[in-house]
Structure 1
Amino acid sequence: MAIVIAGLQLWQSGRMEKFERRQDERDERRHAEEVKTRAVSFISKHYADRGLIPLCVMAAMHDDLHYYSREMYREFCCMTLEVQNRVLEYCGLDLRVMEEKRLFERCIEAVTDVLSARFPGDESPFYDDGKYVLRSLECYGDEKIPVERIDYRPPYAVGPLAANFDGTSSYESFITDVLSESFRGEGPERPISVLECEYDFGRTSEIKACQFATVLAQYIAIYGGKDDDSDKDYGAPGPYAGETISTMEDLFLLAVFEMYTHLVLQEKEAKV
Protein backbone atom coordinates (compact mmCIF):
# COMPACT_ATOMS: atom_id res chain seq x y z
CA MET A 1 0.00 0.00 0.00
CA ALA A 2 2.81 2.37 0.94
CA ILE A 3 4.43 1.76 -2.44
CA VAL A 4 1.18 2.62 -4.23
CA ILE A 5 0.78 5.85 -2.24
CA ALA A 6 4.39 6.81 -2.92
CA GLY A 7 3.85 6.16 -6.61
CA LEU A 8 0.73 8.34 -6.66
CA GLN A 9 2.59 11.12 -4.86
CA LEU A 10 5.42 11.01 -7.42
CA TRP A 11 2.92 11.05 -10.27
CA GLN A 12 1.05 13.98 -8.74
CA SER A 13 4.31 15.82 -8.12
CA GLY A 14 5.32 15.32 -11.75
CA ARG A 15 1.97 16.68 -12.93
CA MET A 16 2.37 19.76 -10.72
CA GLU A 17 5.89 20.41 -12.02
CA LYS A 18 4.67 20.22 -15.63
CA PHE A 19 1.73 22.49 -14.83
CA GLU A 20 3.97 25.06 -13.14
CA ARG A 21 6.42 24.92 -16.05
CA ARG A 22 3.62 25.52 -18.55
CA GLN A 23 2.30 28.33 -16.37
CA ASP A 24 5.75 29.95 -16.25
CA GLU A 25 6.08 29.67 -20.02
CA ARG A 26 2.66 31.27 -20.51
CA ASP A 27 3.58 34.08 -18.12
CA GLU A 28 6.84 34.67 -19.99
CA ARG A 29 5.05 34.76 -23.34
CA ARG A 30 2.39 37.11 -21.96
CA HIS A 31 5.09 39.38 -20.52
CA ALA A 32 7.05 39.37 -23.78
CA GLU A 33 3.90 40.28 -25.72
CA GLU A 34 3.14 43.09 -23.30
CA VAL A 35 6.67 44.50 -23.65
CA LYS A 36 6.45 44.27 -27.44
CA THR A 37 3.03 45.93 -27.49
CA ARG A 38 4.13 48.85 -25.33
CA ALA A 39 7.31 49.38 -27.34
CA VAL A 40 5.53 49.26 -30.70
CA SER A 41 2.77 51.53 -29.38
CA PHE A 42 5.32 54.14 -28.27
CA ILE A 43 7.12 54.11 -31.62
CA SER A 44 3.84 54.33 -33.53
CA LYS A 45 2.50 57.18 -31.39
CA HIS A 46 5.67 59.24 -31.78
CA TYR A 47 6.64 58.11 -35.26
CA ALA A 48 6.84 61.67 -36.64
CA ASP A 49 9.45 62.47 -33.98
CA ARG A 50 11.14 59.05 -33.90
CA GLY A 51 14.51 60.70 -34.53
CA LEU A 52 14.27 62.17 -31.02
CA ILE A 53 14.18 58.74 -29.37
CA PRO A 54 17.91 58.99 -28.47
CA LEU A 55 17.03 62.16 -26.56
CA CYS A 56 14.39 60.19 -24.67
CA VAL A 57 17.25 57.98 -23.51
CA MET A 58 19.19 60.99 -22.28
CA ALA A 59 16.11 62.29 -20.48
CA ALA A 60 15.64 58.98 -18.67
CA MET A 61 19.31 58.60 -17.80
CA HIS A 62 19.74 62.19 -16.68
CA ASP A 63 16.67 62.43 -14.45
CA ASP A 64 13.60 60.29 -15.07
CA LEU A 65 11.68 62.18 -12.37
CA HIS A 66 12.08 65.56 -14.06
CA TYR A 67 8.88 66.97 -15.59
CA TYR A 68 9.99 67.38 -19.20
CA SER A 69 7.89 69.70 -21.34
CA ARG A 70 7.80 67.30 -24.28
CA GLU A 71 5.26 64.51 -23.72
CA MET A 72 7.45 62.05 -25.60
CA TYR A 73 10.23 62.38 -23.02
CA ARG A 74 7.84 62.07 -20.07
CA GLU A 75 6.18 58.97 -21.51
CA PHE A 76 9.51 57.28 -22.18
CA CYS A 77 10.66 57.96 -18.61
CA CYS A 78 7.52 56.25 -17.28
CA MET A 79 8.21 52.99 -19.09
CA THR A 80 10.17 50.11 -17.60
CA LEU A 81 13.82 49.67 -18.51
CA GLU A 82 12.94 46.56 -20.50
CA VAL A 83 10.37 48.40 -22.61
CA GLN A 84 12.70 51.37 -23.12
CA ASN A 85 15.47 49.18 -24.45
CA ARG A 86 13.06 47.20 -26.61
CA VAL A 87 12.08 50.51 -28.26
CA LEU A 88 15.75 51.13 -29.04
CA GLU A 89 16.17 47.59 -30.32
CA TYR A 90 13.20 47.95 -32.68
CA CYS A 91 14.61 51.27 -33.93
CA GLY A 92 17.89 49.56 -34.81
CA LEU A 93 19.94 51.71 -32.44
CA ASP A 94 23.01 50.59 -30.50
CA LEU A 95 22.15 52.98 -27.68
CA ARG A 96 20.78 51.47 -24.46
CA VAL A 97 19.29 52.92 -21.30
CA MET A 98 21.55 52.09 -18.39
CA GLU A 99 22.40 53.42 -14.98
CA GLU A 100 25.01 56.16 -15.25
CA LYS A 101 25.64 57.84 -11.94
CA ARG A 102 26.35 61.56 -12.30
CA LEU A 103 25.72 61.42 -16.04
CA PHE A 104 25.64 65.17 -16.58
CA GLU A 105 28.66 65.78 -14.35
CA ARG A 106 30.63 63.12 -16.22
CA CYS A 107 29.71 64.72 -19.54
CA ILE A 108 30.85 68.17 -18.42
CA GLU A 109 34.07 66.71 -17.00
CA ALA A 110 34.74 64.98 -20.31
CA VAL A 111 34.23 68.19 -22.32
CA THR A 112 36.42 70.13 -19.89
CA ASP A 113 39.15 67.50 -20.26
CA VAL A 114 39.03 67.93 -24.04
CA LEU A 115 39.45 71.70 -23.70
CA SER A 116 42.32 71.32 -21.22
CA ALA A 117 44.12 68.88 -23.48
CA ARG A 118 43.61 70.68 -26.78
CA PHE A 119 43.52 74.35 -25.76
CA PRO A 120 45.33 74.72 -22.42
CA GLY A 121 44.98 78.17 -20.93
CA ASP A 122 41.89 79.06 -22.95
CA GLU A 123 38.60 80.23 -21.44
CA SER A 124 35.89 77.78 -20.42
CA PRO A 125 32.18 78.57 -19.99
CA PHE A 126 31.67 75.27 -18.13
CA TYR A 127 32.65 76.50 -14.67
CA ASP A 128 30.51 75.73 -11.58
CA ASP A 129 29.83 72.24 -12.89
CA GLY A 130 28.50 73.47 -16.22
CA LYS A 131 25.76 75.58 -14.64
CA TYR A 132 24.84 77.39 -17.85
CA VAL A 133 24.34 74.12 -19.70
CA LEU A 134 22.25 72.67 -16.87
CA ARG A 135 20.13 75.82 -16.63
CA SER A 136 19.10 75.28 -20.24
CA LEU A 137 16.94 72.49 -18.85
CA GLU A 138 16.21 73.51 -15.29
CA CYS A 139 15.44 77.21 -15.86
CA TYR A 140 14.46 77.50 -19.52
CA GLY A 141 13.51 73.98 -20.60
CA ASP A 142 10.08 74.81 -22.02
CA GLU A 143 11.19 78.01 -23.77
CA LYS A 144 11.96 78.27 -27.45
CA ILE A 145 15.63 78.48 -28.42
CA PRO A 146 16.13 82.27 -28.46
CA VAL A 147 18.55 82.76 -31.36
CA GLU A 148 18.31 80.82 -34.62
CA ARG A 149 20.46 82.92 -36.97
CA ILE A 150 23.41 85.29 -36.60
CA ASP A 151 25.05 87.94 -38.78
CA TYR A 152 27.90 85.91 -40.21
CA ARG A 153 29.24 85.25 -43.69
CA PRO A 154 30.96 81.85 -43.80
CA PRO A 155 34.09 81.51 -45.95
CA TYR A 156 32.27 79.25 -48.41
CA ALA A 157 29.53 81.84 -49.14
CA VAL A 158 31.30 83.03 -52.28
CA GLY A 159 30.80 82.65 -55.99
CA PRO A 160 27.51 81.00 -56.97
CA LEU A 161 26.75 80.26 -53.32
CA ALA A 162 26.76 83.98 -52.52
CA ALA A 163 23.83 84.69 -54.84
CA ASN A 164 21.21 83.67 -52.29
CA PHE A 165 23.16 84.69 -49.19
CA ASP A 166 21.07 87.02 -47.03
CA GLY A 167 23.83 88.07 -44.66
CA THR A 168 22.92 85.60 -41.93
CA SER A 169 23.90 82.04 -41.04
CA SER A 170 22.67 79.41 -38.62
CA TYR A 171 23.46 80.07 -34.97
CA GLU A 172 26.03 77.32 -34.71
CA SER A 173 27.82 78.05 -38.01
CA PHE A 174 30.53 80.30 -36.56
CA ILE A 175 31.06 77.89 -33.67
CA THR A 176 31.54 74.94 -36.01
CA ASP A 177 33.81 76.88 -38.37
CA VAL A 178 36.11 78.03 -35.57
CA LEU A 179 36.19 74.68 -33.78
CA SER A 180 36.75 72.63 -36.91
CA GLU A 181 39.78 74.77 -37.82
CA SER A 182 41.15 74.81 -34.30
CA PHE A 183 40.85 71.05 -33.81
CA ARG A 184 42.82 70.68 -37.07
CA GLY A 185 45.46 73.01 -35.65
CA GLU A 186 44.70 75.74 -38.18
CA GLY A 187 42.49 78.10 -36.18
CA PRO A 188 43.12 80.53 -33.32
CA GLU A 189 45.08 79.25 -30.32
CA ARG A 190 42.30 80.35 -27.98
CA PRO A 191 39.16 79.48 -29.95
CA ILE A 192 36.82 79.49 -26.95
CA SER A 193 37.80 83.05 -26.08
CA VAL A 194 37.14 84.06 -29.67
CA LEU A 195 33.72 82.44 -29.59
CA GLU A 196 32.79 83.91 -26.21
CA CYS A 197 33.61 87.36 -27.57
CA GLU A 198 31.70 86.85 -30.83
CA TYR A 199 28.59 85.55 -29.06
CA ASP A 200 28.85 88.15 -26.28
CA PHE A 201 28.81 85.39 -23.67
CA GLY A 202 29.74 87.58 -20.70
CA ARG A 203 27.19 90.32 -21.34
CA THR A 204 24.17 88.74 -22.96
CA SER A 205 20.97 87.56 -21.25
CA GLU A 206 21.18 84.36 -19.23
CA ILE A 207 19.07 82.28 -21.62
CA LYS A 208 21.34 83.27 -24.51
CA ALA A 209 24.40 82.47 -22.39
CA CYS A 210 22.85 79.07 -21.71
CA GLN A 211 22.25 78.54 -25.42
CA PHE A 212 25.87 79.39 -26.22
CA ALA A 213 27.36 77.12 -23.55
CA THR A 214 25.07 74.24 -24.50
CA VAL A 215 25.74 74.45 -28.24
CA LEU A 216 29.47 74.81 -27.56
CA ALA A 217 29.49 71.69 -25.37
CA GLN A 218 27.70 69.80 -28.12
CA TYR A 219 30.27 70.62 -30.80
CA ILE A 220 33.33 70.28 -28.60
CA ALA A 221 32.18 66.71 -27.99
CA ILE A 222 31.68 66.11 -31.71
CA TYR A 223 35.05 67.51 -32.78
CA GLY A 224 36.92 66.25 -29.73
CA GLY A 225 35.62 62.69 -29.78
CA LYS A 226 37.69 59.73 -30.93
CA ASP A 227 34.94 57.71 -32.55
CA ASP A 228 35.51 58.47 -36.23
CA ASP A 229 35.87 54.77 -37.01
CA SER A 230 33.02 53.61 -34.79
CA ASP A 231 30.42 51.39 -36.45
CA LYS A 232 27.87 52.07 -33.72
CA ASP A 233 24.57 53.70 -34.64
CA TYR A 234 23.37 55.82 -31.75
CA GLY A 235 21.02 57.91 -33.85
CA ALA A 236 21.16 61.45 -35.22
CA PRO A 237 18.58 63.62 -33.45
CA GLY A 238 17.44 66.64 -35.44
CA PRO A 239 18.01 65.90 -39.13
CA TYR A 240 16.87 62.26 -38.99
CA ALA A 241 13.32 62.57 -40.26
CA GLY A 242 12.37 66.22 -40.18
CA GLU A 243 12.00 66.49 -36.41
CA THR A 244 13.19 69.76 -34.89
CA ILE A 245 15.30 70.80 -31.94
CA SER A 246 13.05 73.66 -30.92
CA THR A 247 13.21 74.18 -27.16
CA MET A 248 16.02 74.68 -24.68
CA GLU A 249 15.08 71.28 -23.26
CA ASP A 250 15.69 69.67 -26.66
CA LEU A 251 18.98 71.53 -26.95
CA PHE A 252 20.13 70.39 -23.52
CA LEU A 253 19.33 66.74 -24.22
CA LEU A 254 21.03 66.96 -27.61
CA ALA A 255 24.21 68.31 -26.00
CA VAL A 256 24.15 65.55 -23.37
CA PHE A 257 23.61 62.99 -26.14
CA GLU A 258 26.67 64.22 -28.07
CA MET A 259 28.83 64.40 -24.95
CA TYR A 260 27.73 60.96 -23.83
CA THR A 261 28.10 59.15 -27.15
CA HIS A 262 31.29 60.86 -28.38
CA LEU A 263 33.18 61.12 -25.09
CA VAL A 264 31.78 59.14 -22.15
CA LEU A 265 30.76 55.99 -24.05
CA GLN A 266 33.93 56.03 -26.13
CA GLU A 267 36.03 56.17 -22.99
CA LYS A 268 34.14 53.22 -21.52
CA GLU A 269 34.50 51.18 -24.71
CA ALA A 270 38.22 51.95 -24.88
CA LYS A 271 38.67 50.39 -21.43
CA VAL A 272 36.88 47.17 -22.39
Structure 2
Amino acid sequence: MHLMTYRLGDGPARLGARIDDSVADLATLAAFHGEELPQDLLSLVRAGAAAQDTARRLLATDGAVWPAEATHRLDDVTLEAPLRPGKIIGVGLNYVEHVEESSRSLDTDRQLPPRPVLFSKPSTAVTGPGRPILHNADLTEQLDWECELAVVIGRTAFRVSEDDAFDHVFGYSIVNDISARDQRRSGQWFFSKGQDSYAPFGPAIVTTDDLADPMSLDLELRVNGVTKQKSNTRHMLFPIARLIADISSGVTLEPGDVIATGSPSGVGAGMVPPQFLVPGDTVEATVEGIGTLTNPVVDAR
Protein backbone atom coordinates (compact mmCIF):
# COMPACT_ATOMS: atom_id res chain seq x y z
CA MET A 1 0.00 0.00 0.00
CA HIS A 2 1.06 3.57 -0.73
CA LEU A 3 -0.47 5.30 2.27
CA MET A 4 -0.76 9.06 2.63
CA THR A 5 -2.39 11.81 4.62
CA TYR A 6 -4.41 14.31 2.61
CA ARG A 7 -6.86 17.18 2.88
CA LEU A 8 -9.72 18.01 0.56
CA GLY A 9 -10.11 21.78 0.50
CA ASP A 10 -10.24 23.15 4.04
CA GLY A 11 -11.35 19.83 5.45
CA PRO A 12 -9.62 17.75 8.11
CA ALA A 13 -6.64 15.51 7.47
CA ARG A 14 -7.70 12.09 6.14
CA LEU A 15 -6.09 8.69 5.72
CA GLY A 16 -5.75 7.66 2.10
CA ALA A 17 -4.13 5.13 -0.19
CA ARG A 18 -2.79 6.00 -3.60
CA ILE A 19 -4.32 4.17 -6.53
CA ASP A 20 -2.82 5.33 -9.83
CA ASP A 21 -3.60 9.08 -10.04
CA SER A 22 -6.22 9.00 -7.29
CA VAL A 23 -6.38 8.64 -3.53
CA ALA A 24 -8.85 6.28 -1.89
CA ASP A 25 -10.27 7.42 1.45
CA LEU A 26 -9.89 4.41 3.73
CA ALA A 27 -12.39 5.42 6.41
CA THR A 28 -15.08 6.05 3.78
CA LEU A 29 -14.28 2.77 2.06
CA ALA A 30 -14.45 0.90 5.37
CA ALA A 31 -17.81 2.44 6.26
CA PHE A 32 -19.20 1.51 2.84
CA HIS A 33 -18.32 -2.12 3.55
CA GLY A 34 -19.67 -2.00 7.11
CA GLU A 35 -16.24 -2.02 8.72
CA GLU A 36 -14.04 0.42 10.63
CA LEU A 37 -10.51 1.68 10.17
CA PRO A 38 -8.50 4.31 12.05
CA GLN A 39 -8.95 7.86 10.85
CA ASP A 40 -5.23 8.68 10.57
CA LEU A 41 -2.05 6.95 9.46
CA LEU A 42 -0.27 6.92 12.82
CA SER A 43 -3.29 5.20 14.38
CA LEU A 44 -3.29 2.64 11.56
CA VAL A 45 0.39 1.87 12.22
CA ARG A 46 -0.30 1.49 15.95
CA ALA A 47 -3.40 -0.64 15.33
CA GLY A 48 -1.23 -3.46 14.07
CA ALA A 49 -1.51 -6.21 11.51
CA ALA A 50 -5.28 -6.83 11.72
CA ALA A 51 -6.22 -3.25 10.80
CA GLN A 52 -3.59 -3.14 8.09
CA ASP A 53 -4.86 -6.41 6.61
CA THR A 54 -8.37 -4.93 6.60
CA ALA A 55 -7.12 -1.93 4.64
CA ARG A 56 -5.43 -4.19 2.08
CA ARG A 57 -8.55 -6.31 1.70
CA LEU A 58 -10.81 -3.28 1.18
CA LEU A 59 -8.46 -1.79 -1.40
CA ALA A 60 -8.59 -5.09 -3.29
CA THR A 61 -12.38 -4.92 -3.68
CA ASP A 62 -14.04 -3.84 -6.93
CA GLY A 63 -13.50 -0.10 -7.28
CA ALA A 64 -16.36 0.13 -9.74
CA VAL A 65 -18.87 -0.24 -6.89
CA TRP A 66 -17.21 2.21 -4.50
CA PRO A 67 -19.17 5.37 -3.69
CA ALA A 68 -17.99 8.51 -5.46
CA GLU A 69 -16.81 10.10 -2.21
CA ALA A 70 -14.38 7.22 -1.61
CA THR A 71 -11.89 8.47 -4.21
CA HIS A 72 -10.41 11.81 -5.21
CA ARG A 73 -8.00 12.85 -7.91
CA LEU A 74 -4.54 13.52 -6.50
CA ASP A 75 -4.56 16.87 -8.27
CA ASP A 76 -7.62 17.86 -6.20
CA VAL A 77 -6.14 17.16 -2.75
CA THR A 78 -3.34 18.58 -0.62
CA LEU A 79 -0.86 16.07 0.76
CA GLU A 80 0.46 16.41 4.30
CA ALA A 81 3.34 14.68 6.01
CA PRO A 82 2.15 11.06 6.34
CA LEU A 83 2.34 11.17 10.14
CA ARG A 84 4.05 12.97 13.00
CA PRO A 85 6.63 10.58 14.44
CA GLY A 86 7.14 10.17 18.14
CA LYS A 87 10.85 10.48 17.40
CA ILE A 88 13.07 10.84 14.37
CA ILE A 89 16.49 9.23 14.61
CA GLY A 90 18.97 10.45 12.04
CA VAL A 91 22.02 8.54 10.88
CA GLY A 92 25.11 10.51 9.98
CA LEU A 93 27.99 9.42 7.74
CA ASN A 94 26.26 6.28 6.48
CA TYR A 95 27.54 6.35 2.89
CA VAL A 96 31.27 5.91 2.31
CA GLU A 97 31.60 8.74 -0.21
CA HIS A 98 29.72 11.08 2.13
CA VAL A 99 32.20 10.24 4.90
CA GLU A 100 34.99 11.41 2.62
CA GLU A 101 33.28 14.63 1.50
CA SER A 102 32.29 15.45 5.09
CA SER A 103 35.87 15.05 6.27
CA ARG A 104 36.88 17.68 3.71
CA SER A 105 34.06 20.16 4.21
CA LEU A 106 32.64 19.60 7.70
CA ASP A 107 35.68 18.62 9.76
CA THR A 108 34.38 15.16 10.55
CA ASP A 109 36.63 12.13 10.94
CA ARG A 110 38.18 10.77 7.75
CA GLN A 111 37.99 7.20 9.09
CA LEU A 112 34.81 5.18 8.56
CA PRO A 113 32.76 5.11 11.78
CA PRO A 114 32.90 1.72 13.54
CA ARG A 115 29.27 2.07 14.70
CA PRO A 116 26.33 4.12 13.39
CA VAL A 117 26.54 7.85 14.09
CA LEU A 118 23.16 8.85 15.52
CA PHE A 119 21.37 12.12 16.21
CA SER A 120 17.76 13.19 16.70
CA LYS A 121 15.33 15.57 15.09
CA PRO A 122 12.26 16.75 17.01
CA SER A 123 8.83 15.99 15.60
CA THR A 124 8.29 19.75 15.25
CA ALA A 125 10.86 19.68 12.41
CA VAL A 126 8.46 17.63 10.26
CA THR A 127 6.82 19.31 7.30
CA GLY A 128 4.91 17.85 4.39
CA PRO A 129 5.08 17.75 0.59
CA GLY A 130 4.91 21.19 -0.96
CA ARG A 131 5.39 22.89 2.39
CA PRO A 132 8.16 25.47 2.74
CA ILE A 133 11.66 24.86 4.02
CA LEU A 134 12.30 27.91 6.18
CA HIS A 135 15.46 29.87 5.44
CA ASN A 136 16.22 32.28 8.28
CA ALA A 137 19.29 34.29 7.35
CA ASP A 138 19.60 35.43 10.99
CA LEU A 139 20.40 31.81 11.86
CA THR A 140 22.14 30.34 8.83
CA GLU A 141 23.95 31.12 5.61
CA GLN A 142 24.62 27.43 4.96
CA LEU A 143 21.26 25.68 4.51
CA ASP A 144 21.92 22.27 3.00
CA TRP A 145 20.04 19.25 1.65
CA GLU A 146 20.26 15.46 2.19
CA CYS A 147 18.01 12.93 0.44
CA GLU A 148 17.41 9.91 2.67
CA LEU A 149 15.36 6.72 2.79
CA ALA A 150 13.09 6.80 5.85
CA VAL A 151 12.25 3.60 7.73
CA VAL A 152 8.92 3.71 9.58
CA ILE A 153 8.71 1.42 12.59
CA GLY A 154 5.58 -0.72 12.86
CA ARG A 155 6.14 -2.79 16.03
CA THR A 156 7.83 -1.94 19.30
CA ALA A 157 11.49 -2.88 19.06
CA PHE A 158 13.90 -3.21 21.98
CA ARG A 159 17.09 -5.26 21.83
CA VAL A 160 16.13 -6.61 18.42
CA SER A 161 18.60 -8.75 16.48
CA GLU A 162 19.54 -7.98 12.88
CA ASP A 163 17.82 -11.22 11.85
CA ASP A 164 14.53 -10.02 13.34
CA ALA A 165 14.85 -6.33 12.49
CA PHE A 166 12.60 -6.24 9.42
CA ASP A 167 9.76 -7.83 11.41
CA HIS A 168 9.46 -4.46 13.13
CA VAL A 169 9.25 -2.30 9.99
CA PHE A 170 5.91 -0.91 8.78
CA GLY A 171 7.15 0.72 5.62
CA TYR A 172 9.37 3.30 3.93
CA SER A 173 9.24 6.94 2.96
CA ILE A 174 11.53 9.89 2.17
CA VAL A 175 13.12 12.41 4.52
CA ASN A 176 15.06 15.42 3.30
CA ASP A 177 17.49 15.95 6.18
CA ILE A 178 17.81 19.73 5.99
CA SER A 179 20.87 21.04 7.84
CA ALA A 180 22.14 24.47 8.87
CA ARG A 181 25.83 23.65 8.56
CA ASP A 182 26.89 26.78 10.45
CA GLN A 183 24.73 25.89 13.47
CA ARG A 184 26.71 22.89 14.65
CA ARG A 185 27.56 23.67 18.25
CA SER A 186 30.76 22.09 19.60
CA GLY A 187 30.07 19.09 17.38
CA GLN A 188 26.42 18.78 18.44
CA TRP A 189 23.95 18.56 15.54
CA PHE A 190 20.55 19.04 17.21
CA PHE A 191 20.02 22.71 16.39
CA SER A 192 21.73 22.35 13.03
CA LYS A 193 19.26 19.66 12.00
CA GLY A 194 16.28 20.14 14.29
CA GLN A 195 14.83 23.54 13.44
CA ASP A 196 11.23 23.83 12.28
CA SER A 197 10.75 22.59 8.68
CA TYR A 198 14.12 20.77 8.67
CA ALA A 199 12.50 17.35 8.18
CA PRO A 200 10.40 17.36 4.99
CA PHE A 201 8.70 13.93 5.04
CA GLY A 202 6.57 12.09 2.47
CA PRO A 203 4.84 12.03 0.08
CA ALA A 204 3.69 8.56 1.12
CA ILE A 205 4.61 5.59 3.27
CA VAL A 206 4.99 2.45 1.19
CA THR A 207 4.32 -0.68 3.21
CA THR A 208 6.87 -3.47 3.23
CA ASP A 209 4.75 -5.77 1.05
CA ASP A 210 4.93 -3.21 -1.77
CA LEU A 211 8.67 -2.56 -1.56
CA ALA A 212 10.55 -5.82 -1.84
CA ASP A 213 14.18 -4.75 -1.37
CA PRO A 214 14.82 -1.48 0.49
CA MET A 215 18.56 -2.11 0.21
CA SER A 216 18.54 -1.64 -3.57
CA LEU A 217 16.75 1.65 -4.21
CA ASP A 218 17.96 4.55 -6.33
CA LEU A 219 18.04 7.95 -4.61
CA GLU A 220 18.28 11.33 -6.30
CA LEU A 221 18.03 14.94 -5.19
CA ARG A 222 17.60 17.96 -7.45
CA VAL A 223 17.76 21.68 -6.72
CA ASN A 224 15.94 23.79 -9.31
CA GLY A 225 15.97 20.76 -11.62
CA VAL A 226 19.73 20.19 -11.37
CA THR A 227 20.81 16.82 -9.96
CA LYS A 228 22.98 17.17 -6.85
CA GLN A 229 22.78 13.67 -5.35
CA LYS A 230 22.48 10.32 -7.09
CA SER A 231 23.15 6.98 -5.40
CA ASN A 232 21.59 3.71 -4.26
CA THR A 233 20.75 2.38 -0.80
CA ARG A 234 23.02 -0.61 -1.45
CA HIS A 235 25.91 1.75 -0.69
CA MET A 236 24.89 2.25 2.95
CA LEU A 237 27.76 1.63 5.34
CA PHE A 238 25.35 0.26 7.96
CA PRO A 239 22.29 -1.38 6.36
CA ILE A 240 18.78 -1.07 7.75
CA ALA A 241 18.86 -4.23 9.86
CA ARG A 242 22.09 -3.15 11.53
CA LEU A 243 20.65 0.31 12.25
CA ILE A 244 17.54 -1.12 13.91
CA ALA A 245 19.61 -3.56 15.97
CA ASP A 246 22.06 -0.86 17.05
CA ILE A 247 19.44 1.76 17.96
CA SER A 248 17.17 -0.68 19.75
CA SER A 249 20.08 -1.99 21.84
CA GLY A 250 19.41 0.94 24.18
CA VAL A 251 16.46 2.94 22.83
CA THR A 252 12.94 1.57 22.45
CA LEU A 253 11.64 2.10 18.92
CA GLU A 254 7.87 2.55 18.91
CA PRO A 255 5.27 2.32 16.13
CA GLY A 256 5.43 5.43 13.99
CA ASP A 257 9.04 6.28 14.86
CA VAL A 258 11.21 7.14 11.86
CA ILE A 259 14.83 6.31 11.13
CA ALA A 260 16.38 8.60 8.50
CA THR A 261 19.02 6.22 7.18
CA GLY A 262 21.66 8.68 6.02
CA SER A 263 22.66 10.76 3.03
CA PRO A 264 24.80 9.85 0.04
CA SER A 265 27.45 12.25 -1.22
CA GLY A 266 26.55 15.39 -3.14
CA VAL A 267 25.54 17.70 -0.31
CA GLY A 268 25.98 21.41 -0.82
CA ALA A 269 28.75 21.73 1.75
CA GLY A 270 30.85 19.28 -0.26
CA MET A 271 30.60 21.17 -3.54
CA VAL A 272 33.56 23.18 -4.87
CA PRO A 273 32.75 25.93 -4.19
CA PRO A 274 30.07 25.11 -1.59
CA GLN A 275 26.45 25.60 -2.65
CA PHE A 276 23.60 26.24 -0.25
CA LEU A 277 19.85 26.72 -0.44
CA VAL A 278 18.39 30.21 -0.73
CA PRO A 279 14.81 31.52 -0.84
CA GLY A 280 13.25 30.80 -4.22
CA ASP A 281 14.92 27.40 -4.62
CA THR A 282 12.91 24.21 -5.11
CA VAL A 283 14.22 20.90 -3.76
CA GLU A 284 13.07 17.50 -5.08
CA ALA A 285 14.09 14.31 -3.29
CA THR A 286 13.26 11.06 -5.07
CA VAL A 287 13.50 7.47 -3.85
CA GLU A 288 12.71 4.63 -6.23
CA GLY A 289 9.39 2.95 -5.53
CA ILE A 290 8.21 5.70 -3.19
CA GLY A 291 7.97 8.91 -5.19
CA THR A 292 9.25 12.48 -5.10
CA LEU A 293 9.16 14.86 -2.16
CA THR A 294 9.13 18.48 -3.39
CA ASN A 295 9.56 21.56 -1.18
CA PRO A 296 10.17 25.26 -1.88
CA VAL A 297 12.66 27.28 0.15
CA VAL A 298 11.21 30.49 1.56
CA ASP A 299 12.50 33.45 3.56
CA ALA A 300 11.45 32.90 7.18
CA ARG A 301 12.23 36.39 8.48
Superposition TM-score tier, normalisation by shorter sequence: under 0.3
- Using the size of structure 2 for normalisation, the TM-score is 0.22
Larger Rg: 1
Question: TM-score by structure 1 length?
Answer: 0.23
**Structure with the bigger percentage of helix:** 1
**Larger fraction in strand:** 2
